[in-house]
């Protein structure tokens, strides 16, 4: 039998990253469940292995090795009660901040509670035993490999973070006896940097500062980001909820959402990722990503994470702006603007819809007002239009549910009674949260637009999987026909009885007439509810038009070919062909 590395991918990944982090000292205890791991490292001269038949002894040996050498020391044990004997030594390591990596070999977690011999449930750890515990299962898919590659990095980084301490990895095995792998497939190592570290240089030609949902920017942060952009040929990629209002913002969705056109401005050398969850679903293609956040967590939005900077955003951008005194050209920003302008010149006349309403309202909202958007369709539509400067915008993208968007708007409006707070929501989201309008604290500074198409129009959009069911999607998937089925009087009575001024529109002409009152900068004696009656076909058609402004010959031909093949062989045939070609 060849004796190299195990074929078990999770063990390969762990061993590969241990080498990347220079974790070479291992105290191994005997057993069957850890044979795949121990059998792999004992044939690699990189590792310095010590044997300890008693696991309690092994853990204390690791404490001595770590203290004296100043290095991380790993432990390896089998299943059953072996790991229980690590408890005293790991407790010692925890209180002395010693970097001990306890690798406990394990059977698959699904066997818990089924009377399986030698199975120990290690899913919960004592509070003062380890800093971090990872359950590392069998790796079966590319997504498993990506996700657990991040998790192993996270575990190994925690060994020395904030003073250091012990870490636990529960390594699942299937007892493979094949040790024929001669070369470990690489696993990307990630790096974490603190404020006092010697930070790496930026050599990328094009840099994108990607901003997810973000609270209001301080003047200092805006200035620091603008200075950074000028020195590194950078652009701030933003959606409606990013709230950046500096010199180099690029509202990228109009460009990124084109279905048969790809712009090269979406391909960047380096993305600096800040902010929280984005509801824009944009198609940014970064070659590498640096994440900046005080929590220092490994968050890999684009699957290209390389470095994490555990610091405030303003510190990061000020440090890097100071690193370069000369200003680069702003070629990248100019290229982004040119792409946007090219598409804006071709904006089609779309049907009466959420998109069309956003186009009309976007430049009419009063300065310094606040805008709250419902998730998915309303946010998507408003990400395609430019809004007046100095308007803060928010959406409930944290939990990303339809519940609570109206309540959030109401809560925000209580902070400043002299400021206007606008909201745009679909009918299902509104009726889910309609009781918030009856709250006795509601003032006169709320302007709520309800786009009523009688269903969850998201599920009737042209690209949505539910749309293939056509009108049959309405019954259950799109939940059509509830809440008065687009009754022209239900919301009128409800709103007026609660003290709101009610407006409505069923076409563009009616909208334009009512809009003047809706966007008036004067706060009157009543809040306003403005109901738009649209239909799902118009909503879908409007988005289709907006997504097919730009066209590239190659992508148009590719889409036409796909349509032809799909017509000929059907969906199952497409799936089969992808499998044969290795595309799935």
Contact (Cβ atoms closer than 8 angstroms) between residue 270 and residue 207: yes
Q: 132-144, pLDDT tens digit by residue?
A: 999 999 999 999 9
Share of the chain above pLDDT 90, in %: 91
Q: Which two tokens stand for residue 195?
A: 């404020």
Q: How confident is the model at residue 327 (pLDDT cuts 50, 70, 90)?
A: confident
Average pLDDT over residues 454-473: 96
Average pLDDT over residues 469-497: 96
**pLDDT at residue 555 greater than cutoff 80:** no
Q: 3-state SS string over 176-219?
A: CCCCCECCCCCCCCCEEEECCCCCCCCCCCCEEEEECCCCCCCH
Q: 51-91, pLDDT tens digit by residue?
A: 999 999 999 999 999 999 999 999 999 999 999 999 999 99
Q: Domains of the chain (ranges plus CATH)?
A: 9-189 (3.40.50.970), 207-344 (3.40.50.1220), 354-545 (3.40.50.970), 552-580 (no CATH)
H helices then E strands: how many in the chain?
18, 21
Average pLDDT over residues 528-538: 98
Which range has the worst mean pLDDT, 143-147, 520-524, 542-546, 554-558? 554-558
pLDDT, position 388:
87
pLDDT, position 447:
98
Q: Which residues pair with 102 in a beta bridge?
A: 75, 168
**Could you tell me the CA-to-CA distances from 327 to 229, 232, 256, 544 in Å, in that order?**
9, 8, 28, 41
Q: 337-358, pLDDT tens digit by residue?
A: 999 999 999 999 999 999 999 9
pLDDT, position 135:
98
**pLDDT at residue 580 greater than cutoff 60:** no
Place of tokens 């925000």: 412
- DSSP for 509-566? HHHHHHHHHHT-SS--SS-EEEEEE--HHHHHHHHHHHHTSS--HHHHHHHHHHHHHH
Average pLDDT over residues 406-427: 98
**pLDDT at residue 558 greater than cutoff 80:** no
**pLDDT at residue 577 greater than cutoff 70:** no
Mean pLDDT of all residues belonging to the chain: 94
pLDDT, position 527:
98
**pLDDT at residue 576 greater than cutoff 90:** no
Average pLDDT over residues 401-406: 93
Q: How confident is the model at residue 329 (pLDDT cuts 50, 70, 90)?
A: confident
Based on C-alpha coordinates, what's the Rg of the chain? Answer: 29
Kindly state the helix (H) or strand (E) to which residue 438 belongs, with its residue range.
none
Average pLDDT over residues 196-223: 97
Hey, how many other C-beta atoms are within 10 angstroms of the C-beta on 340? 18
Task: Tell which wins on pLDDT, 16 or 120.
Answer: 16
């Amino acid at each position: 039998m060849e004796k190299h590395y195990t074929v078990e991918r999770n063990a390969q990944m762990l061993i590969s990253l241990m080498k990347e982090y220079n974790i070479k000292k291992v105290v191994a205890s005997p057993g069957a469940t850890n044979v795949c791991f121990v059998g792999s490292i004992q044939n690699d001269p990189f590792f310095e292995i010590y044997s300890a038949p008693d696991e309690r002894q092994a853990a204390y040996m690791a404490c001595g090795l770590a203290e004296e050498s100043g290095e991380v020391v790993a432990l390896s044990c089998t299943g059953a009660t072996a790991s229980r004997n690590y408890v005293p030594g790991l407790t010692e390591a925890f209180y002395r901040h010693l970097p001990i990596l306890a690798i406990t070999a394990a059977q698959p977690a699904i066997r818990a509670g089924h009377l399986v011999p030698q199975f120990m449930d290690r899913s919960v750890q004592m509070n003062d035993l380890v800093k971090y515990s990872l359950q590392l299962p069998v790796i079966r898919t590319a997504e498993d490999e990506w996700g657990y590659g991040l998790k192993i990095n996270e575990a190994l980084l925690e060994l020395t973070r904030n003073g250091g301490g012990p870490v636990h990895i529960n390594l699942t095995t299937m007892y493979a006896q094949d040790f024929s792998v001669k070369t470990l497939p690489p696993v990307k190592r990630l790096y974490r940097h603190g404020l006092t570290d010697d930070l790496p240089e930026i050599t990328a030609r094009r840099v994108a500062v990607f901003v997810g949902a973000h609270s209001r920017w301080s003047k200092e942060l805006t200035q620091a980001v603008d200075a950074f952009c000028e020195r590194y040929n950078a652009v701030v990629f933003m959606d409606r909820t990013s709230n950046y209002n500096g010199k180099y913002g690029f509202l990228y969705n109009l460009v990124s959402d084109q279905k048969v056109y790809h712009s090269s401005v979406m391909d960047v050398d380096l993305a600096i990722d800040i902010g929280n969850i984005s509801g824009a679903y944009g198609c940014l293609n970064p070659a590498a990503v640096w994440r900046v956040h005080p929590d220092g967590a490994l968050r890999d939005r684009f699957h290209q994470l390389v470095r994490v900077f555990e610091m405030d955003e303003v510190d990061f951008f000020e440090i890097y702006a100071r690193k370069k005194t000369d200003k680069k050209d702003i070629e990248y920003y100019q290229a982004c603007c040119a792409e946007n302008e090219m598409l804006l010149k071709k904006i089609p006349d779309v049907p009466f819809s959420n998109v069309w309403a956003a186009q009309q309202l976007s430049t009419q909202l009063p300065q310094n007002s606040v805008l709250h958007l419902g998730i998915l369709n309303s946010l998507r539509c408003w990400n395609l239009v430019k809004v007046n400067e100095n308007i803060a915008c928010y959406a409930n993208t944290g939990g990303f549910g339809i519940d609570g968007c109206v309540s959030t708007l109401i809560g925000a409006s209580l902070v400043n009674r002299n400021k206007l707070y606008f909201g745009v929501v679909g009918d299902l989201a509104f009726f889910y949260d309609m009781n918030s309008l009856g709250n006795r604290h509601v003032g006169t500074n709320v302007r709520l637009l309800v786009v009523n198409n009688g269903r969850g129009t998201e599920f009737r959009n042209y690209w949505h999987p539910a749309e293939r069911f056509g009108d049959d999607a309405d019954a259950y998937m799109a939940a059509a026909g509830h809440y008065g089925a687009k009754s022209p009087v239900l919301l009128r009575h409800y709103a007026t009885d609660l003290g709101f001024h009610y407006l409505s529109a069923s076409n563009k002409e009616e909208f334009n007439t009512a809009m003047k009152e809706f966007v008036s900068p004067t706060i009157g004696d009543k809040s306003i509810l403005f109901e738009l009656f649209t239909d799902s076909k118009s909503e879908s058609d409007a988005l289709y038009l907006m997504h097919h402004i730009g066209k590239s010959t190659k992508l148009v031909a590719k889409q036409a070919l796909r349509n032809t093949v799909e017509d000929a062989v059907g969906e199952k045939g497409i799936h089969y062909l992808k499998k044969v070609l290795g595309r799935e």
